[in-house]
Amino acid sequence: MPVPHERDAVERQLLRDTAYAALCTAIVDGTLAPGEQLHDTELCAWLGLSRTPVRDALTRLADEGLVELAPQRYTRVAPVEPADVRDTFPVLAALHALATELAVPQLEGGDLELLQRENEAFLRALAAADGAGAYAADDRFHAVFVRVAGNAEVKRALARVTPRLHRLERLRGDALPGRRSVAQHQAILTRAGAGDAAGAAVAARANWLTLGALLAHEE
């Protein structure tokens, strides 16, 4: 049979991904504000792309809860609602607890050292009242477990929900994790270092739920 001609399909996929990455970043960092109307012509001109990959990207962002689509009426950046925190953080807590439990038996010395360094960066950011730095260090801390766990389904699920987390963190940048989060990080480190996978997972889950409660309070 003839060789299929896939070049156009691959190109469309890449353009859609380019549009998605740019739009997702703009929504997460606040360039495109909650409730802002999104017009295809303006987005296409800004991104230098045709309508098809831009609409594909908007559909994906709508599936992830960052965009609202109402055919023939509007396309807009999703507003931030109290339900966003209530819906997002139990999922994050469960996924990160699973990643932690899977990772602990595979952690090596270098991984534990990296966890310690990221936790120290987290503590320095808290001491400096640097919300953005604290959240970034916290992300890197938990990302060690996700990487070591090596579970593709966990990574895919987190990729879908993490942009909502980052938008909430940015909008609540003055809300700093407190002493409970510091203690939970230490519990994760101690239990992971001892090879206690189940105990580390419990501490990780509690850590994410604590952050969710903090951001929900800020609502």
Q: Of 77, 93, 112, which marks where a domain is finished?
A: 77
Whether 61 maps to a domain, the answer reads yes
Whether 105 maps to a domain, the answer reads yes
How far apart, in whole angstroms, are the C-alpha atoms of residue 154 and residue 122? Answer: 24
- If asked whether residues 121 and 51 sit together in one domain, one would say no
- If asked whether residues 58 and 102 sit together in one domain, one would say no
Q: Of 43, 77, 111, which marks where a domain is finished?
A: 77
Whether 158 maps to a domain, the answer reads yes
Predicted confidence at residue 1, as pLDDT, reads: 45
Predicted confidence at residue 126, as pLDDT, reads: 92
- If asked whether residues 86 and 68 sit together in one domain, one would say no
CATH code of residue 18: 1.10.10.10
- If asked whether residues 111 and 184 sit together in one domain, one would say yes
**From first to last of its 219 residues, what are the pLDDT tens digits of the chain?**
454 445 555 466 688 899 999 999 999 988 999 999 999 999 999 999 999 999 999 999 999 889 999 888 889 999 988 788 888 999 999 999 999 999 999 999 999 999 999 999 999 999 998 888 998 999 999 999 999 999 999 999 999 999 998 888 887 766 677 778 999 999 999 999 999 999 999 999 999 999 888 887 654
Global confidence as pTM: 0.84
- If asked whether residues 164 and 193 sit together in one domain, one would say yes
Whether 1 maps to a domain, the answer reads no
Predicted confidence at residue 71, as pLDDT, reads: 82
- If asked whether residues 53 and 12 sit together in one domain, one would say yes
- If asked whether residues 73 and 142 sit together in one domain, one would say no
Total of domains in the chain: 2
Q: Of 32, 56, 77, which marks where a domain is finished?
A: 77
Predicted confidence at residue 4, as pLDDT, reads: 42
Whether 204 maps to a domain, the answer reads yes
- If asked whether residues 204 and 116 sit together in one domain, one would say yes
Whether 2 maps to a domain, the answer reads no
Predicted confidence at residue 84, as pLDDT, reads: 80
Concatenated DSSP letters for the chain? -PPP--HHHHHHHHHHHHHHHHHHHHHHTTSS-TT-B--HHHHHHHHT--HHHHHHHHHHHHHTTSEEEETTTEEEEPPP-HHHHHHHHHHHHHHHHHHHHHHGGG--HHHHHHHHHHHHHHHHHHHTT-HHHHHHHHHHHHHHHHHHH--HHHHHHHHHHHHHHHHHHHHTTT----HHHHHHHHHHHHHHHTT-HHHHHHHHHHHHHHHHHHHHHH-
| Residues spanned by the domain of 63 | 7-77
- If asked whether residues 145 and 212 sit together in one domain, one would say yes
- If asked whether residues 211 and 109 sit together in one domain, one would say yes
Predicted confidence at residue 179, as pLDDT, reads: 79
Whether 189 maps to a domain, the answer reads yes
Whether 57 maps to a domain, the answer reads yes
Predicted confidence at residue 82, as pLDDT, reads: 78
Task: Tell which residue, 45, 46, 58, has the closest CA to residue 16.
Answer: 58
CATH code of residue 202: 1.20.120.530
Q: How far is CA 16 from CA 76, 77, 167, in A?
A: 18, 18, 21
- If asked whether residues 64 and 100 sit together in one domain, one would say no
Length of the chain: 219
- If asked whether residues 90 and 48 sit together in one domain, one would say no
